[in-house]
């Protein structure tokens, strides 16, 4: 956990078009609710006694679909610590110089562009509608507005995407000179247009071997360009890691604002509480209008559950598992790590154990093996990272 860090996540559930692979809480038919939703978010922030945020993240959905004044209204309601990181996810087609200048004036210092691919036929296969040429214009406009921290989101493994197209997407993304690049394997989620098409046999599912080749290609090209991986799907230039996401991966504390948003708080006894809001914007607006909490549910994580989660999250990151932690002192855990190291999935430097690149490709299986080693043993609270 990052000492003194506190994050605020704001969920903006509105989109102009829903991507074929998306299973997030987003809607394309609720634009008439935007004003009321913004007001409810401001009201929700106001009724909480939140500490100053070290990071704020507007995600969605498409936050840049809001008018700049609407997004800034929510941001202005959030108390921020000096030097806070403020990120807004943007569609390249829904930003312009004036909007980005308004963001920057309000304190936005990081933007994340949903690019996915720089090839029109791949974008079409994903159900994306933006023009690749607008990506260049959007990144240039962000820098002109004074926002120097830029992330580019990419997706690999779309059926029908040749390796050469993925290579071109990587090269064109690097040419934009962003400070951070995220690359995610395309996944098929039930209930999405892509999921239904795959289930019906009208579209093919992504190929695991193809995705592995493309992940390795991304890692090679991004590292050659000066980026280092710090989480399985994320690469950054030195010092440009997303502080808000690091907060998630280190079990930090954060509040969720808006429908479907999650929060996480830690108690003095070592337990943690994770909670989530109602899923739809309609219900979120109604709850705040009635003076009620928008919270839909919660769970309490005891130290055992937190330890399992700590291992799961740590394994996804470059620092990996601290060998001095209680979990790694158990004989079964030590044997497990030796076994994984022998298989070329984990390597240690005497202080920590972390995934090799091959281990990153098999992270789900590696994590399951580590959790098996943890299961059945009493857990002592781990030392701080």
Phi, psi of 200 (to 5 degrees): -80, -10
User: Distance between CA 385 and CA 379 in Å, rounded?
Assistant: 17
Comparing CA positions, the residue from 292, 293, 308, 248 lying closest to residue 274 is 248
User: Distance between CA 288 and CA 130 in Å, rounded?
Assistant: 34
Sequential pLDDT tens for the chain (385 residues): 566 899 999 999 999 999 989 989 999 999 999 999 999 999 999 999 899 999 999 999 999 999 999 999 999 999 999 999 999 999 999 999 999 999 999 999 999 999 999 999 999 999 998 889 999 999 999 999 999 999 999 999 999 999 999 999 999 999 999 999 999 999 999 999 999 999 999 999 999 999 999 999 999 999 999 999 999 999 999 999 999 999 999 999 999 999 999 999 999 888 899 999 999 999 999 999 999 999 999 999 998 899 899 999 999 999 998 876 544 445 678 888 899 999 999 998 878 899 999 999 999 999 999 998 887 543 332 332 2
Domains of the chain: 6-247 (3.20.20.70), 315-374 (no CATH)
Sign of torsion over alpha carbons 193, 195, 201, 206: positive
This prediction has a pTM of 0.94
Sign of torsion over alpha carbons 118, 229, 385, 340: positive
Cα 45 to Cα 41, 130, 335, distances in angstroms: 6, 32, 47
DSSP reduced 3-state for 104:
helix
CA gyration radius, the chain: 21
């Amino acid at each position: 956990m990052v000492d003194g860090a506190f994050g605020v996540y704001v969920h903006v559930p509105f989109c102009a078009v829903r991507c074929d692979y998306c299973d997030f809480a987003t809607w394309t038919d609720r634009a008439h609710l935007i004003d009321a939703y913004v007001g409810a978010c401001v009201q929700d922030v106001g009724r909480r006694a939140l500490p100053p945020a070290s990071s704020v993240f507007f995600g969605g959905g498409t936050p840049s679909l809001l008018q700049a004044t609407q997004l800034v209204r929510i941001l202005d309601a959030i108390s921020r610590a000096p030097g806070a990181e403020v990120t807004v996810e943007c569609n390249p087609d829904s930003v312009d110089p004036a909007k980005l200048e308004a963001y920057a004036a309000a304190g936005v210092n990081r933007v994340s562009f949903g690019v996915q691919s720089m090839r029109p036929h791949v974008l079409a296969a994903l159900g994306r509608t933006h023009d690749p040429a607008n990506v260049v214009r959007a990144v240039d406009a962000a820098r002109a507005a004074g926002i120097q921290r830029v992330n580019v989101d990419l997706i690999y493994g779309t059926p029908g995407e040749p390796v050469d197209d993925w290579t071109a997407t990587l090269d064109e993304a690097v040419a934009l000179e962003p400070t951070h690049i995220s690359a995610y394997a395309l996944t098929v989620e039930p209930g999405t247009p892509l999921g239904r098409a795959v289930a019906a046999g009208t579209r093919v599912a992504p190929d695991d071997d193809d995705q592995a080749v493309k992940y390795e290609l991304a890692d090679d090209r991004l590292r050659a360009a000066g980026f280092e991986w710090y989480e399985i799907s994320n690469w950054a230039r030195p010092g440009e890691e997303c502080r808000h996401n690091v907060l998630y991966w280190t079990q930090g504390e954060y509040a969720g604002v808006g429908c479907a948003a999650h929060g996480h708080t830690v108690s003095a006894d070592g337990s943690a509480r994770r909670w989530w809001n109602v899923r739809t914007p309609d219900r979120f607006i109604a709850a705040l209008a009635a003076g009620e909490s928008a919270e839909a549910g919660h769970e309490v994580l005891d130290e055992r559950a937190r330890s399992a989660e700590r291992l799961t999250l740590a394994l996804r990151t470059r620092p990996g598992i601290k060998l001095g932690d209680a979990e790694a002192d158990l004989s079964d855990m030590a044997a497990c790590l030796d076994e994984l190291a022998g298989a070329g999935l984990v390597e240690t430097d005497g202080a920590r154990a972390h995934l090799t690149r091959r281990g990153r490709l098999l992270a789900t299986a590696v994590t399951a093996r580590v959790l098996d080693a943890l299961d059945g043993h009493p857990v002592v609270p781990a030392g701080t990272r």
